[in-house]
Structure 1
Amino acid sequence: MAKRFSIDHQGWWRNLKKHRYIRIFLFALLGVLTYGLLVTNVIPETLEVEQGSISEQDIRSPLTIENKQETERLQQEAYEAVDPVYSTKTRYAQNQIERIQDIFSSVEQVQLQAAGSEDELQEQTINENELDSGTEDIPLEEQLDILKEMLPGETVDNLSDTALLSLLNASPEDLQIAQETTASAVYDVMTDEVKMDEVDEARDRAERKVDISAVDPQLLRAMAEIARFGITANYMLDEEATEDARHTAAEVVEPVMIREGELLVEEGQVITAEIYQKLSLVGLTEEVPMVYPYIGLGIIIVLLISMLAFYLNDAKTTLQSNNTHLLMYGAIYALTLVILKVISLMHGTDVHGLTFIAPVAMGTMLITTLLQSRVALFSSIIFAIIASIMFNQEAAGVVNFTHGIYIFFSGVAGVFFLGKSQRIIRMLQTGFFVAVINILVVTSILMLKNAQYSWMEISSNLGFAALAGFLSVVLALGLLPFFETGFGILSTTKLIELSNPNHPLLRKILLKAPGTYHHSVIVANLAEAACESVGANGLLARVGAYYHDIGKTRRPHFFIENQMKIDNPHDKISPQLSKTIIISHPYDGSEMLKQYKLPKEIIDIAEQHHGTTLLKYFYHKAAKESEDKIKEEEFRYPGPKAQTKVAAIVGLADCVEAAVRSMPNPTKEKIEGLVKKIMLDRLEDGQFDECDITFKELKMAATTMCETLQGTFHSRIEYPVDELKEKEADS
């Protein structure tokens, strides 16, 4: 018996893969591996530098960051450079006029009190002599005191007693003239800008404006004094406008940025306090905490693995429930990252573009071939993000977008061109296609950099990019058999290999049971066409049909298709023994397939193609020969029933082919009726209860089988017999 190398045949894995936390463990293991491979790429680079020392090398910024201290300094300079904002206070003129009017109003009130009352004053004959005699009721000194009490303190402090007495002695007409003249003069002067250093000049102008000859000289001096008092500065500092202007000037200042790759210190340059502050700001001094890059990388890895886990658990692939396939995906993922890491360490060589030789398409091609193309596409994104950090030695910062873009396109190219066809020639063509895409991507990258490259450098970059495509396909083809064997994967390539007639088991069927071989070929044609009509794996159905009756090779003559010119051995034995021989062939075949390490999918088809169907012929024969009641369960296959669409369709095709082959003079109508009856019998018998095939798909599969059978069992032309030759032959 051949040794089993598939991991599914190992006891430790069979027990471990059913553990409830195994998927969490596998994803955690991928996260730890990714972190371990990337941690060396984020270790902060620190320099042993001090203020006042001489730099031993050119130092460039590893990142882009704002120099907030320098920005604040420039903003403060801009703030302080703004001149104060002044504005004319138009309300000041009205305020001063109101103050002047208040003075004259107060004087009139004092005069009325001095005269006795306002009514008595109106009854008197208005003439100058009577007024003078009326105001003498209260002495001028007392009138002056009353007036000072009525006026604001500031007014009293700025006007002399002589001026106030002149107002008290003036007649109402003169007071009216004085008020209007003074107010007009003050208003005329205050409507213009009066700056702080121009107040005296403005007061002189107001004094000249009240210089009229229509009033008493003493009153005129009082008017001049009041006019000068009424003039004040109205062109003042606008604190709110000044503050707004200064804030606007500070906001206009552009942030001072330290750009990634910017030269901070030249070799031999003295490290000043300003330069040291910049070095600390970009994290190149020992004063900066070292833990943040590790935490940041951990967060990135957690996000990547979480997204990967969510996608793989949600996508409708075998990775959703098959932990063996998940382990295989993890192995491909880990192998791809390890290869990328090894190549990333070659950046220190003098060979230009050597890191472009990274064969990331190997990983995506293996995932496409062994699992699914959509999973490979998603993996391309993950590989690109990881590579952008892994290949950051050539970048000034922590991320190298150049290699990230290159890895992404290289990985995706392997998926798109390989597609659903995984033949060897197709994979070789894919390597060429990946090489072309790599060359195009590298060419675009060199153009985007707009640097002056020599032809030798360009050729080196493009050459390694092209070599990456061919290296990817060589590695993929070399590793494919190991993954297929180690994880029991049934790829298209493996199926094509198993369909080779020279396979030992197929040759065994052909030599020991030729009738079964012919039967299996027809069943393969029926099953493949039916599976493709419902979107199932037609190639798997064909190969599974080739091997589904391999168990018949142990006792080939007990099966009718192999009984050529011999008596039927079942006529000489009991129905119970015949039942035992017939029922054993799926399980004999399963054991033989396991011995030859065939994939589990093929073994399942062999075990499940009869399900739990009833051996009707031997059941009825036993019932006739026995006086006791025979139970159906004794003449049923023990199962299991079909678990997949492919197994269900192969079982249906097996039954249909045997029935149609035994039909005399098959016609289109007879075939369709028989196929429909067989399908309904199996459906009512519950043979499709444990698989996900629908009634609609069963009808489509049955229709396709009818079309295939009509081509196989078509009517033939009856050729005329040559009578002369017939006579000669008889003679």
Structure 2
Amino acid sequence: MRQKAQTLFEKLGYRKIMVAGILLTGIILYAFLADSVQSDTYDIQLFQLSTDTIRSEKTVEDPVKTEQEKQRLAEEVTPSYQFMEEFVDNQAALVASLFGYISEVKAIPEKAQAPLTEKEMIEQLREDLRLLETSENGLRLTDDMLKSLLALSDERLLNVEEQLNKTIQSYLTKPIRTEEVARIRTEIEQEIRRNEQIPNDIIQAAVTIGRFGIIATELVNEELTANQLEQVRDSVEPTRILQGQVLVQEGQLIDREVYRQLELAGMTEDQLSYQPLLGLFVFVLIAIGLLLVVITRSHKDDKHKVIELLVVLVTVSISLVLMKLIAEVSENFDMVISFIFPTALTGIIVRLLVNERAAVFVTILVSAAAGMMLPSGYSSSLQVDVAFYILFGGLTAIYLIEQDGSRGRLLQISLAVAGANTLFIAFYLLLGQTQYNWTEIGFYFTAAIVSGLLSGALAIGFLPFFESAFGMLSTMRLIELSNPNHPLLKKILTETPGTYHHSLMVANLADASCEAIGANGLLARVGCYYHDIGKTKYPQYFIENQVNIDNPHDRLPPEKSRDIILAHGIDGARLLKKHKMPKEIIDVAAQHHGTSLLKFFYYKAKELDPTLVEDSYRYQGPKPQTKEIAIICIADSLEAAVRSMKKPTSEKIKKLVDSIVEDKLKDGQFEECDLSLKELKTVKDIMCETLNGIFHSRIEYPKEPQ
């Protein structure tokens, strides 16, 4: 199955598959989160009883209530008034004009050739007073009033004018508002009637003139008042429907006001907002863009990048499925069960199978998705408490995982995650300022502990499936394979102790060299432990296992010795496959000699047959395909050569290292791996340092006297 998938990947092209995988990740994210970002809607009818207690899932402004509040405060604003001094002078001028017209009409008979009749005088005076009669206040003097005024002598008319002006001025010099005009006119009427200097026969005309003279002298300053109203309206804070606010209780009648608020909160069934879906689309674009950056920044080849992407895709999908299950059952609980979600699950898996950078990204992505999917309040957008809870738990696991990612270590990390979860729950409960009973407190702390333990348990359970499905080798698996109690390592130790010691020495050289150039040192070390397991088939035919026995090759023809030696790589790979060992370890056994020449037996055979073909004495290969196997190839040859060296020194070791590496380069053994010359120089330096440390000269102690 895996071989078919690899063939398909190579046919389509890894880059196309990577783009398709990233798009698929975005589609899965969008599909799972689309329902979560949409507000819950209800089948609500006007003037019916509500079947649920409905709370607002978001905070929105209520424009109607806001406008009502603005109107209420505006009505309470006291208008700004301004005293109009010019009105006093204007009214005095009008009264003076009135009496001036009367005096002029009275003077006409004296100047005219034919005297005017009384009726003509009144008509003339009426014509002169037309403007005053049509003014805003409207002076209304009857014919009898005009007749009585015309009947006064000039002296008495002047006296009446002075008395009326004095009385009117005494009132107008004080601020008079519009609503006070009627009262002041009544007061001035009473005062005129009490004035003894005004003749009784014109008292009604004087009262009319006096009332006409009173107008509002303190008017509203429209501009200033408008500014005050604007300031008051602007100072009003918008009235909001708050997230979590109860809009209608179960069994309550849904009147027009309640229905309006439900519509405003977007909770009626006929309302569908595309805004959250558009926002989710932007979120998914950001997520897959960052995922593309994280995957492409990996130093692995395209094939491994695709595998890493698939690991991310599957782990994120698993998390989304778990969130969906928790969200579905959460309605049956009064408490927030979202805290039971395994916070560090994705972080642990991605950290062990991919790298730390990808693990941090996936943890952030999953925490953001959980903030949208897992309920912990009344919001339909983002639950920050759940998001932070998963983020801190996941980061705790990521930064505590080291190279020794054994199962026991993962259980310890699970306890650390449980501790981090518990601390966050304490923060959550204290910050919320909500009263919790002991049952609720116990539930939340228990959920935090269960979340941490589930993270490790599920990670341990899922890892073998990931390793099998994607052909990946996790740090934890490598640690398990390096355990000396492993059956195959026991087999090497008991049947080929010399080979076992040789493998340990090669492992030290390869591990240090791989770490120096950024390759997988742990993989190289574990591969070295098993690379010569094929020698267990004929252990006595390999020199490191020939203790106190004759070399059996001395009794065999070169062809037979060749077949035994060349077969140990094939036999080892076959044995490892039989025990279902990881492909990377099998490759080490099959490729650690590449296609190098078995020189000793080749030259021995060539002495007998000069026409011998060299290829018949070469290992079957293939040549090393990875940096790690290439380094193991060097270390394997080097360790055997140095061990056979008499009195090794730093100079001898350096020459031997250069010679072996040069020989393998010329033989083309590194042509199919991406080991650069610069890295090869670093490998040589590290191997020289390591070998010098192993084969350093020792002090020769003096013999004890007999």
The two structures have a TM-score, normalised by structure 1, of: 0.69
Which digits, 9 at most, give the CA deviation of each residue in 1:302-322, with x for residues without a partner? 543443344223344678734
**Paired residue secondary structure (1:264):** strand
The residue number in structure 1 matching 2:18 is: 23
Mapped partners of 1:687, 1:717: distance in 2 = 40
- Contact kept, 8 Å, 2:30 with 2:281, in 1: the verdict is yes
Q: Which residue of 422, 429, 434 maps to 1:446? A: 429
Mapped partners of 1:338, 1:286: distance in 2 = 27
**Paired residue secondary structure (1:392):** coil
The residue number in structure 2 matching 1:608 is: 591
**Paired residue secondary structure (2:648):** coil
The residue number in structure 2 matching 1:314 is: 297
The residue number in structure 2 matching 1:62 is: 57
The residue number in structure 1 matching 2:192 is: none
1:643 aligns with 2:625: yes
Aligned amino acid, residue 573 of structure 1: P
Equivalent residues in 2 for 1:395-434 (5 A)?
A: 395-434=378-417
- Contact kept, 8 Å, 1:361 with 1:414, in 2: the verdict is yes
Shift of 1:448: 1.3
- Contact kept, 8 Å, 1:392 with 1:399, in 2: the verdict is no
Which digits, 9 at most, give the CA deviation of each residue in 1:540-591, with x for residues without a partner? 222111222233344545544345533453774356x655554444334333
Classify 1:53/1:563 alpha carbon distance in 2 versus 1 (closer, same or farther; 3 Å).
closer
The residue number in structure 2 matching 1:592 is: 575
Classify 1:13/1:535 alpha carbon distance in 2 versus 1 (closer, same or farther; 3 Å).
closer
Classify 1:353/1:393 alpha carbon distance in 2 versus 1 (closer, same or farther; 3 Å).
closer
Which digits, 9 at most, give the CA deviation of each residue in 1:78-130, with x for residues without a partner? 778878889999xx9xxxxxxxxxxxxxxxxxxxxxxxxxxxxxxxxxxxxxx
- Contact kept, 8 Å, 1:557 with 1:569, in 2: the verdict is no
Shift of 1:63: 0.5
Mapped partners of 2:635, 2:73: distance in 1 = 88
Mapped partners of 1:367, 1:319: distance in 2 = 18
**Paired residue secondary structure (1:422):** coil
The residue number in structure 1 matching 2:40 is: 45
Mapped partners of 1:417, 1:723: distance in 2 = 57
Mapped partners of 2:274, 2:501: distance in 1 = 71
The residue number in structure 1 matching 2:688 is: 706
**Paired residue secondary structure (1:360):** coil
Mapped partners of 1:682, 1:249: distance in 2 = 89
Mapped partners of 1:382, 1:41: distance in 2 = 15
Classify 1:438/1:268 alpha carbon distance in 2 versus 1 (closer, same or farther; 3 Å).
same
Mapped partners of 1:521, 1:308: distance in 2 = 40
Q: Which residue of 255, 258, 261 maps to 2:241? A: 258
- Contact kept, 8 Å, 1:48 with 1:286, in 2: the verdict is yes
Mapped partners of 2:379, 2:609: distance in 1 = 91
Classify 1:570/1:36 alpha carbon distance in 2 versus 1 (closer, same or farther; 3 Å).
farther
Shift of 1:403: 1.4
Aligned amino acid, residue 8 of structure 1: R
Classify 1:378/1:18 alpha carbon distance in 2 versus 1 (closer, same or farther; 3 Å).
farther
Classify 1:670/1:48 alpha carbon distance in 2 versus 1 (closer, same or farther; 3 Å).
closer
The residue number in structure 2 matching 1:361 is: 344
The residue number in structure 1 matching 2:187 is: none
Shift of 1:439: 1.1
Classify 1:613/1:354 alpha carbon distance in 2 versus 1 (closer, same or farther; 3 Å).
same
Mapped partners of 1:697, 1:12: distance in 2 = 33
- Contact kept, 8 Å, 2:406 with 2:480, in 1: the verdict is no
Mapped partners of 2:234, 2:265: distance in 1 = 24
- Contact kept, 8 Å, 2:56 with 2:378, in 1: the verdict is no
Q: Which residue of 468, 479, 499 maps to 1:516? A: 499
Q: Which residue of 472, 476, 479 maps to 2:459? A: 476
Q: Which runs of 5+ in 1 are unaligned?
A: 1-6, 93-191, 198-232, 725-731
The residue number in structure 2 matching 1:384 is: 367
Mapped partners of 1:475, 1:247: distance in 2 = 63
1:573 aligns with 2:566: no
Classify 1:461/1:71 alpha carbon distance in 2 versus 1 (closer, same or farther; 3 Å).
same
- Contact kept, 8 Å, 1:318 with 1:325, in 2: the verdict is no
1:677 aligns with 2:659: yes
Mapped partners of 2:55, 2:334: distance in 1 = 23
Classify 1:304/1:707 alpha carbon distance in 2 versus 1 (closer, same or farther; 3 Å).
closer
Shift of 1:512: 4.8
Mapped partners of 2:177, 2:381: distance in 1 = 61
- Contact kept, 8 Å, 2:81 with 2:221, in 1: the verdict is yes
RMSD, matched Cα:
4.3
Classify 1:257/1:363 alpha carbon distance in 2 versus 1 (closer, same or farther; 3 Å).
same
Classify 1:707/1:396 alpha carbon distance in 2 versus 1 (closer, same or farther; 3 Å).
closer
Classify 1:394/1:248 alpha carbon distance in 2 versus 1 (closer, same or farther; 3 Å).
closer
The residue number in structure 2 matching 1:202 is: none
Moved more, 288-297 or 367-376: 288-297
The residue number in structure 2 matching 1:464 is: 447
Shift of 1:633: 5.5
Which digits, 9 at most, give the CA deviation of each residue in 1:109-161, with x for residues without a partner? xxxxxxxxxxxxxxxxxxxxxxxxxxxxxxxxxxxxxxxxxxxxxxxxxxxxx
1:652 aligns with 2:639: no
Classify 1:418/1:275 alpha carbon distance in 2 versus 1 (closer, same or farther; 3 Å).
same
**Paired residue secondary structure (1:651):** helix
Shift of 1:417: 2.1
- Contact kept, 8 Å, 1:41 with 1:393, in 2: the verdict is no
The residue number in structure 2 matching 1:113 is: none
The residue number in structure 1 matching 2:209 is: none
**Paired residue secondary structure (2:247):** strand
**Paired residue secondary structure (2:535):** helix
Mapped partners of 1:279, 1:288: distance in 2 = 10
Shift of 1:443: 1.0
Equivalent residues in 2 for 1:175-194 (5 A)?
A: none
Mapped partners of 2:649, 2:40: distance in 1 = 83
- Contact kept, 8 Å, 1:495 with 1:543, in 2: the verdict is yes
**Paired residue secondary structure (2:584):** helix
Shift of 1:437: 0.9
Mapped partners of 2:558, 2:505: distance in 1 = 31
- Contact kept, 8 Å, 1:38 with 1:390, in 2: the verdict is yes
The two structures have a TM-score, normalised by structure 2, of: 0.71
Mapped partners of 1:318, 1:236: distance in 2 = 87
The residue number in structure 1 matching 2:530 is: 547
Mapped partners of 1:350, 1:234: distance in 2 = 72
The residue number in structure 2 matching 1:283 is: 266
1:8 aligns with 2:13: no
The residue number in structure 2 matching 1:163 is: none
Aligned amino acid, residue 659 of structure 2: K
The residue number in structure 2 matching 1:491 is: 474
The residue number in structure 1 matching 2:142 is: none
Classify 1:317/1:436 alpha carbon distance in 2 versus 1 (closer, same or farther; 3 Å).
farther
Aligned amino acid, residue 61 of structure 1: S
Q: What is the number of equivalent residue pairs in this alignment? A: 588
Classify 1:51/1:351 alpha carbon distance in 2 versus 1 (closer, same or farther; 3 Å).
closer
Seq. identity, %: 41
The residue number in structure 2 matching 1:340 is: 323
- Contact kept, 8 Å, 1:66 with 1:257, in 2: the verdict is yes
Equivalent residues in 2 for 1:63-462 (5 A)?
A: 63-72=58-67, 247-267=230-250, 269-289=252-272, 293=276, 296-316=279-299, 321-350=304-333, 352-392=335-375, 394-462=377-445
Q: Which runs of 5+ in 2 are unaligned?
A: 87-172, 179-215
Mapped partners of 1:246, 1:583: distance in 2 = 100
Mapped partners of 1:412, 1:484: distance in 2 = 23
Shift of 1:654: 0.7
Classify 1:70/1:711 alpha carbon distance in 2 versus 1 (closer, same or farther; 3 Å).
same
**Paired residue secondary structure (2:344):** helix
Aligned amino acid, residue 258 of structure 1: I
Shift of 1:377: 1.6
Mapped partners of 1:234, 1:319: distance in 2 = 91
